[in-house]
Chains A and B, each alone.
Chain A
Amino acid sequence: MSESTSQSVTEPKKGGHGAPAATHAPAAGAGGHGHGHVEGQAHLAHHFDTYQQQFDAGKLGIWLFLLTEVLFFSGLFCAYTIYRGMHPEIFVYAHYFLNTTMGAINTCVLLISSLTAAWAVRNAQLAQRKLLIFNIVVTVACACTFMVVKYFEYSHKFHDGLLPGPNFHPTEQVWELESFKKKHPEAAEYAEHLDKLGEERAHRKSAAGSADATVTGEYERPTEEQIEPLIKAGLIGPHAEDPYRISKPKNAHVFFGIYFCMTGLHGIHVVGGIIVWLWLLKRAAKNEFGPKYFGPIDYAALYWHLVDLIWIYLFPLLYLIH
């Protein structure tokens, strides 16, 4: 479609060629969406014939970029799905350590920033400079809030020894956690009790030098409510790390490996977004955007919505495991 119009308006090329030095800039803005930081003076690159063509090209470009982003994250989602499918107990176990409230807050924050981003596009289209600046500022503010919350989550995890791989040494047992107690009070109690039992058995073992698993006789059989959550979380039963006492599931660290990869990569994208928005804020302040040239804002917004989109999936997958 663009070519046909392009011929109808051959002249503007002059404008384009007037300042050959700077002609490429907007295209970079369009294609670079943050890769090339430039202030174009002529907003129509020399190799485009019309604003429509330039805009459409940028739009197609950013959509292709989003395509790659989706596939980029797919690897992590694949790993997630496989491990959750094969070892649900690890995920049940680990999710008690996550703070749903913080996750929910972050979700809302990102959604709001998405709104302001979409609004910013409208402002740019209608050349509403003040509103545009306002909306970009809000977007950036939300993004920063998101990162701050993330920072608190991460530092909390580090503090509790919830690190990937060999460094995974939780300071608290899962049944001591509020989140667990609230959900399954009986199970929590029973877990305490099993833990003591384990202690005793360990003592005898060291004393008698032999592991006799026949001490359970003294206690009455546990109820469904007591035992079910523990098995689901792999604290006891086939997936438990230690067959003789209540412990954590085998390879429990894998969840946090995936958790840090996914949220970390997403966080990096948020930071990238912040940088792009700040750059656009500068340009918006210079009032570079108007009905003919608002591509960069539109493209940045699209990218921002994708970041939001990914979080929309991460939130239930990581924080809302039942």
Chain B
Amino acid sequence: MANDDTPDTEASADADKQPKSQQGPSEEQPPAHKDDATAPTPKLEPTKQDEGDADERDSDSDVSAPAPVAAAVADGHAAAALHADHGLAHTMPIWMLVAVLGALMLLTILTVSVTNYDLGSQGNLVVGMVIATIKAGLVITFFMHLLWDKKFHLILFLTAVLFVVLFLSMSITDRGEYQGNIDLYQNTTSAAAK
């Protein structure tokens, strides 16, 4: 979390000074916003206009919105520049999407074909899990564009994984410890049944 807090803190700590300097630029923007906000059903062209206005805002971003970019960099965006291009978030190039899909397909084929070879007691399971994890990694990094996203979201996701691991490891450890009592019972009782 800390990674996320510090920039927030800085950004907002001096925020009450910043706005005053930004009165000028911010005044011109409202009309555009206003009609896209109040238009009953926005047609295609207002959105176009928005886009234009977005670019204009970002081109002289140092005047109108330095804070987001600054904070973004502080936030550890892998590509703050890219981020700035399309307003709110990074846009995935098509070739990258297709490439990722290709990789995923290949890995799927691989993991299926691997099952035809015996890789020792747990070998196949391990390989299967490793491949699955690689695939998961690809999906998270590119499809879910976590690579360009806020670090905090990555931290969140890792926290989830951490807690799952914690949950599984403790219950499984414990179960492993007392499995003996269960087997003993099952054997003795089934013996009695015979």
Direct contact of A and B (CB under 8 A): yes
Interface band, chain A: 35 or more
Residues in A whose Cβ lies below 8 Å from that of B124: 320-322
Residues in A whose Cβ lies below 8 Å from that of B175: 82, 85-86
Closest chain A CB from B164 CB (angstroms): 4
B89 touches A298 (CB 8 A): yes
Residues in A whose Cβ lies below 8 Å from that of B140: 305, 309
A12/B41 contact (C-beta < 8 A), A59-B153, A121-B92 known: no
B residues 127-179 in Cβ contact with A at 8 Å: 128-129, 131-132, 135-136, 139-140, 142-145, 149-150, 152-153, 156-157, 159-161, 163-164, 167-168, 171-172, 175-176, 179
A1 touches B11 (CB 8 A): yes
Residues in B whose Cβ lies below 8 Å from that of A224: none
Which secondary structure dominates chain B's binding surface? helix
B101 touches A12 (CB 8 A): no
Which secondary structure dominates chain A's binding surface? helix
Residue in chain A with minimal CB distance to B90: A125
A285 to B71, CA, bound (A): 35
B positions within 8 Å CB-CB of A: 7-8, 11-12, 14-16, 18-19, 22, 25-27, 29-30, 33-34, 36-44, 47-48, 50-51, 54, 64-65, 67-68, 70-72, 74-75, 86-89, 91-92, 94, 97-98, 100-101, 104-105, 108, 111-112, 115, 118-119, 123-125, 128-129, 131-132, 135-136, 139-140, 142-145, 149-150, 152-153, 156-157, 159-161, 163-164, 167-168, 171-172, 175-176, 179, 186, 194
A4-B67, A115-B101 known, 10 other contacts, Cβ within 8 Å: A1-B8, A1-B75, A9-B29, A78-B171, A100-B112, A114-B104, A118-B92, A292-B87, A305-B144, A322-B119
In the complex, the number of residue pairs spanning A and B with C-beta atoms less than 8 Å apart equals 250
A108 touches B108 (CB 8 A): yes
A44/B37 contact (C-beta < 8 A), A115-B143, A302-B144 known: yes
Shortest Cβ-Cβ A-B pairs, 3 listed = A15-B37, A1-B71, A290-B47
